[in-house]
Amino acid sequence: MSFLTRSKIDAALVLAVALAWARPAIAEPLRLRGDALVQTRSPVGLVVLSGEDRLRPWLSAETVTWLGATGGSQPVGATGDVVTLSVRARDAATGSELRTGRMIVTMGAVRPVHLDGVRGLMRAFGGTTVEAFGGVPVVRGFAYDTFDWTAGGRLGQSVGDVATFGGSYAVRRRGGQRDDEEVGADLALTPAPWLTAAARAAFDVIARAPTDALASVSVQKDDVRAEVFTTHRSPGRLLPRTSLFSVLGDFAATSTGATARWRAFPRLELVATGSVQVQGDEVGGQGLGRATLALDDEWAGSIGLEARRVDFAGARWVGARAIASLPLSSAFRVATEIELVRPDEPRGRGALWPWALGAIAWRSPSGWEVATALEASVGPEYRESLHALARVSYAFGEPPVRGRTSP
């Protein structure tokens, strides 16, 4: 790691620590949330900071910084990356905005881009939206690749609150060559409060074939919600076009299924999902059933059971998971989670992969949160492992989370 990179990480750490020791005040325009997770496996953390100017409400900024520690075969030290760091100017009257800095751009049906650059959104009268972005794709660890750039946009149209549709385009160049070039279309419909539908599809301009497509229709009536969905994804076309593995041809994977949720009783929720998957001559499927019983009317505590079966393309296993979460008081909470997975074909990986976690968490009214846990597992990769986890979170200038948070 270069001196410059280390300096940036050190500066981010100093900033995070300095802000964490600032005095909290509800009316502050600055909001900070810092989460540090310490594991015996590898310590990592996220620092989320956002700021608004009350005198200039059209201006805001936010950043998410990821921090971690290196080890294993690498020299012991600190590592990190800025996931987002952007400034946004927004016109409240029209909803138009301009964001600059590091951001994740998801625009219509084309694939997301992690970008150092600019994104603009302009709303015209009549529900028309024009979006555009351009910049340099982010490379891990503050590095840059020469001659890399990406650009794209979306033209969208809303029809009242009933429908939104749009067309999008994105191109990415790597080393001076076309790496990805996609066009996409998207549609969202809410013809009635109980009915929603959405679809998107992307087309690879270089391979002249679809990349991926998703569609979903859901209905909700009182305590029952049902959804049917289908996805069509071409793994080879999701790779950069400069990759040799992108030329193997179209072996797209298609999945079609349904999900149903039923609040059978005020405190009991049942969820079931099933899908059929097809890829080439492979046919398989997945299924999941889950029951969650709340221990109080606010759903602050709950117990749950989940069963899952996966049978597709050499991945064949059954699993069961049990969870329990119980608030001991307004400040303390205990939770446990147990999972058992049995592969159909162990292939030297063990016949059963158990995993368990027990946690206790404490939250103070001033914004501090501390949680610790023990995680134990026997799996194909680690054989037996026991890890301790600890998380320290601090929210500054942000109202603490209250009320129902699950399911």
Partner 1 sequence: MSPLLRFALLVSLLSLAACAGLLGIKPRDTQRPFEHRSHSLAGIGCTTCHEGITHAGDTGPLHIPEPAKCVGCHTRPHDSRPCGTCHGQSHTREENRLAREHLRFSHERHVPKLGGQCVPCHAAAGKSEQTTLRPPMAQCLSCHNHKDQWTTRDCEGCHVDLPSELARPSSHVFHEGDFVREHGVRAASARDLCATCHGEGFCASCHGITVAALPWKLGFDRPSLTGLHRAGFASRHSDEARSNPGLCTTCHDSERFCLDCHAKRGRSAFGGGISRNPHPPDWVRARGGEHGRAARMDPMSCASCHGGAGEALCVGCHRVGGPGGNPHGRGFASALDMTRDQPCRACHAQ
State how far the Cα of 275 lies from the Cα of 256, in Å rounded to an integer. Answer: 5
Distance CA 339, CA 353 (A): 8
User: Residue 206 contacts by C-beta under 8 Å, 6 or more apart in sequence?
Assistant: 178, 180, 181, 241
Of residues 237 through 276, those in contact with partner 1 by CB under 8 A are 238-251, 253, 255, 259-261, 264-268, 271, 273
Nearest to 286, CA basis, from 331, 245, 256: 256
List 22, 366, 380, 386, residue binding partner 1 (CB under 8 A):
380
Nearest to 114 by CA among 98, 129, 101: 101
Among positions 55, 76, 146, 161, the unique one binding partner 1 when judged by CB under 8 A:
161
To the nearest whole angstrom, how small is the minimum distance from the Cβ of residue 1 to partner 1? Answer: 14
How near is the Cβ of 100 to partner 1 at its closest, in Å?
12
Nearer to partner 1, 148 or 337 (CB): 337
**What are the tokens at 122?**
């302009």
Nearer to partner 1, 158 or 256 (CB): 158
Q: How far apart are the first and last CA of the chain?
A: 42
Q: Pick from 9, 12, 183, 199 the residue near partner 1 by CB under 8 A.
A: 199
We find the least distance from the C-beta atom of residue 17 to partner 1, in angstroms, to be: 19
List binders of partner 1 among 202-221 (CB under 8 A): 205-209, 212, 214-216, 218, 220
Helix (H, G, I), strand (E, B) or coil at 16: helix
Bridge-based pairing state of the strands 315-327 and 368-379: unpaired
Using CB under 8 A, pick the residue from 152, 170, 186, 203 that binds partner 1.
Answer: 186
Stretch that binds partner 1, among 1-9, 12-20, 145-153, 339-347 (CB under 8 A): 339-347
Q: How far is the CB of 3 from partner 1 (least distance, A)?
A: 21
Phi-psi region of 147 (alpha: psi -120 to 50; beta: other; left: phi over 0): left
364 sits near partner 1 (criterion: CB under 8 A) = no
Owner of token pair 């039923």: 262
Distance of CA 163 to the CA centre of its chain: 25
5 vs 39, beta carbon nearer partner 1: 39
Stretch of 1-9, 12-20, 144-152, 194-202 contacting partner 1, by CB under 8 A = 194-202
| Contacts with 192 (C-beta within 8 Å, 6 or more apart), sequence order | none
DSSP 76: S
Count of positions on this chain that bind partner 1 (CB under 8 A): 167
Q: What gap in Å lies between CA 398 and CA 61, rounded to an integer?
A: 15
Distance of closest approach, residue 250 Cβ to partner 1, in angstroms: 6
Q: Judged by CB, which is closer to partner 1: 16, or 63? A: 63
Which residue stretch of 6-14, 15-23, 34-42, 145-153 sits at the interface with partner 1 (rule: CB under 8 A)?
34-42
Q: Which stretch binds partner 1 (CB under 8 A): 3-11, 12-20, 139-147?
A: 139-147
The closest alpha carbon to 232, from 204, 205, 206, 260, belongs to 204
**What is d(CA 269, CA 153) in angstroms, rounded to the nearest whole number?**
41
Site string for partner 1, 45-84 (x = CB under 8 A): -x-x-x------x----xxx-x-x---xxx------x-xx
Query: What is the smallest separation between the CB atom of 245 and partner 1, expressed in angstroms?
Result: 4
| 94/195 Cα distance (integer angstroms) | 29
Residues 99-118 that bind partner 1 (CB under 8 A): 99, 103-104, 106-109, 111-112, 114
Return the range that interacts with partner 1 (CB under 8 A); candidates 2-10, 15-23, 145-153, 232-240.
232-240
Among 190, 270, 274, 291, contact with partner 1 (rule: CB under 8 A): 190
Q: Where are the alpha helices (DSSP H) in 239-341?
A: none
User: Which residues within the stretch 1-30 sit at the binding site for partner 1 (CB under 8 A)?
Assistant: none
Gap between the Cα atoms of 20 and 31, Å rounded: 11
The Cα angle at residue 378 between residues 375 and 382, in degrees rounded to 5: 90
- Integer CA distances (angstroms), 353 to 320, 356, 389, in order: 11, 10, 20
CB of 94 to partner 1, least distance (A): 6
> What's the closest the beta carbon of residue 118 comes to partner 1, in angstroms?
14
